[in-house]
A and B are shown apart, each in its own frame.
Chain A
Amino acid sequence: MSFLEALLVGLAEARRHFAQTLLSLLGLILGTGSIVAVLALFGGQSKITQDYVAEVGGFGTVIARDRELSQRPTATELASDRLTYGDARYLKQRATTLGAVAPGFFEEMDYRVGGVSFQGPVIGTTPDYAVINDIRPLVGRYLSDLDVERQARVMVLGWKYADSLFGAAETALGGLVTLAGRNFTVVGVLEREEFYFAPWSGNELEYRNRRAYIPITTAFSQYTGDDEHLSFLTLKAAHPTGARAAQQQVTAMLLLRHGVQDFDITPSGAGANDDAQFFKLFDFIFLVVGVVSLIAGGVVIANILLASVVERVREFGTRMALGATGFQIFAQVIAQVVVIAVIGGLLGLALGWGLTGTVAYFMKMPAAVTPTIALVAIGTSLSVGFAAGIYPAFRAARLSPVEALRYA
């Protein structure tokens, strides 16, 4: 009897024991289906997490901030100007590891246009800010080097503020806004920024739509009396993986300028990662569910196969009495398993594909069943089938006809 013939016998057997076959199939289909869906959704979820980190400054971004003064500050500490716009310009010129330097002034101010007025954040900064934070104008332009050089009274509005003050982005362009008593001309309105970890959670980036940007030099000359102390200093490494090198170089350079470590340099991805961490929990739960369901599927299959073999040991005894070799019995059981595992794997793949599509559609998640995932699914189904089938097959093949026939 060839293996092909054994396979045909296996197929016929699978059909004859329809109920058992159906149960094993169900176990395999559910197991494979959930693995497929879980892997696909897991992939989608990790992509979301990565996207978020990239969106809020991403990898390779480094933040410099003032360090709290110690309990008994030394004279050098007290004498230091802390982080200043001068530091920023120095780093921009000299720090070879940096690709962008965005110094910032930050304050809540009164916005006023005609009868509309409210309090909101104002950021004084340089064009590099747009590079680091990946923000794009919807109409008009962002701040330019010329604006900074000339201390121009121009502003770029967040999408929401443009909407609140002027009713629309287009009408805002060229309009006048009074910021804490000084008039500014709107030269640009930014694209609306939004990011959702999941459809039920809010817009993580809404705060960015509620602010205005002005040249940092204008901020100092108009509002601080030329005190050039910075509220924040965001740096971007020249290479995405260069954050650590940038951190070291910037620390060394600033230490030299200040004479004392009155600042801290930290990678910014950390904060974003904290936000994302919560959602990583979902990834984990997904994965656990998938593994558990596959194990459960495997146990079900193993059980059913074992039961079906035990039930049929007497039948195997008869077959051996008629001349079947142990190998032929083994081949028969394995062929049956292969048939079930292949069919179950394919149907499970289809189920997982449908499941992924449905979940991705309703939860607005990016998720796709890649060829790798499909291969993993079929492979898993086959190996579970084999693992579950080999032991009973081996046991059945080793019996002598009389032992098998007497099997209770």
Chain B
Amino acid sequence: MALIEARALTKVYRLGRVDVAALRGVDIDVARGEYVAIMGPSGSGKSTLMHILGCLDTPSGGAYRLDGEEIGGLRGRALARVRNRKVGFVFQTFNLMPRMTVEENVALPLQYRGGLRRRARLKRARALLERFGLGERIGHRPDELSGGERQRVAVARALIGEPAILLVDEPTGNLDSEAGAQVLRAFREVHAAGNTIVLVTHDPDVGAEAARTIRLADGRVAA
């Protein structure tokens, strides 16, 4: 059974009186342990698709199963639970909490999950940060870090809850080539450890990292 099974996904944005179809029927399957890159021109619907796959947004039509769970009917609290347990989302702009330390940022998903005390949460965050070579940075604030370090903190935060899938929007878009290469190495390790990764990119070199590439054009999967 595939980890991700999306059938005929559509998304229509209503802009005043005009309907903008961002997705026009997308079918996607991603198996457990895959490393998939989604590519396509600007405006083709990549971010929209990622938001739906990450349960940050709901599709206008179609069916979506994630890790065996039907997502279509879920709303509010249930959807928040899925986001918290099954999805690790890495934003293009990292979206770290500026007033929290690195370890507090990474521990945040565990706080929303509940069950662990603060001390235990921070301990797990520190252990993960060590693995990403950020052991020295745990007490810093995000604005004291380089772009590459911030990206890795964001990845650590996405992985802390041991999600079923890691979703990444434009991982290298905001990084120079050196930092970009470092981040890609991190993804390779994460993938090697058994995680499933779906990322969006414009960069052919990044696309080449993935085992499989899906091309989007005008809201559809291009052959």
Contacts and interface: CB of A to CB of B under 8 A. Distances in A.
Interface of A: 1, 5, 9, 16-17, 314-315, 317-328, 400-402, 405
A314 B57 CA distance: 15
B58 to A, nearest CB: 8
B102 to A, nearest CB: 15
A402 B57 contact: yes
Contact of A322 (B58, B83, B99, B100): B83
B80 A323 contact: yes
Contact of A324 (B91, B95, B112): B112
Contacts, number: 65
A325 B56 contact: no
Task: State which size class the interface on B falls in.
Answer: 20 to 34
Contact of B109 (A322, A325, A326, A402): A322
Given A322-B157, A323-B113, A324-B112, A405 B99 contact: no
B57 A400 contact: yes
A325 B111 CA distance: 12
Contacts of B77: 325-327
A341 to B, nearest CB: 21
B32 to A, nearest CB: 21
Contacts of B111: 1, 5, 9
Contact of B161 (A9, A323, A324, A400): A323
A9 B157 CA distance: 18
B97 A315 contact: yes
Nearest to B82: A323
Nearest to A2: B114
Contacts of B57: 400-402
A315 to B, nearest CB: 7
Contacts of A323: 80-81, 83-85, 109, 112-113, 161
Contacts of B161: 323
Contacts of A5: 111
B95 A400 contact: no
6 nearest A-B residue pairs (beta carbon)? A323-B84, A16-B99, A323-B112, A401-B56, A318-B95, A402-B57
B191 interface: no
A324 B56 CA distance: 12
**Max chain B C-beta neighbours (<10 A), residue from A17, A326, A401:** A401
